[in-house]
Chains A and B, each alone.
Chain A
Amino acid sequence: MKKTKELATKVQKKNKSLQNKIQKKKGDLKFKIGDQNRLNIYW
Chain B
Amino acid sequence: MRHAKTVTAPQGGERAISRRRFIGVTAGATAALSFGTFIRSGLGAAKVNVLTWSNTLPAMDDVLREQAKQYTKEKGVEVSFEFINQTDLPTKTAAAVESGAGPDIITLWSDGPHLHAKALIDVDDVTGPLGKELKGWTNIAKDIAIVGKNWKSVPWGIIPICMNYRTDWCKEVGYTKFPDTYDEMLVMCKKLKEKGHPSGFALGRAIGDGNQSHYPILWAFGGAEVKKDGKTVDINSPGTAKAVDYLRQLFKDAQTDDVLSWDDSSNNRAFLAEQVAVTANAASIYWAEKKNAPQLRDVTDHALFPKGPAGRFGYSTAISLGVFKFSKSQKESKAFIKWMLEPKQYSAWMGIGEGMMAGLLNFYEDDPVWKKDPKLEVVRQIPKYVRMPGYPAPPSRPAAEAMVKFVIVNMFARAAKGMSTAETIKIAEAELKEIYGKA
Q: Report if A and B associate in a common complex.
A: no
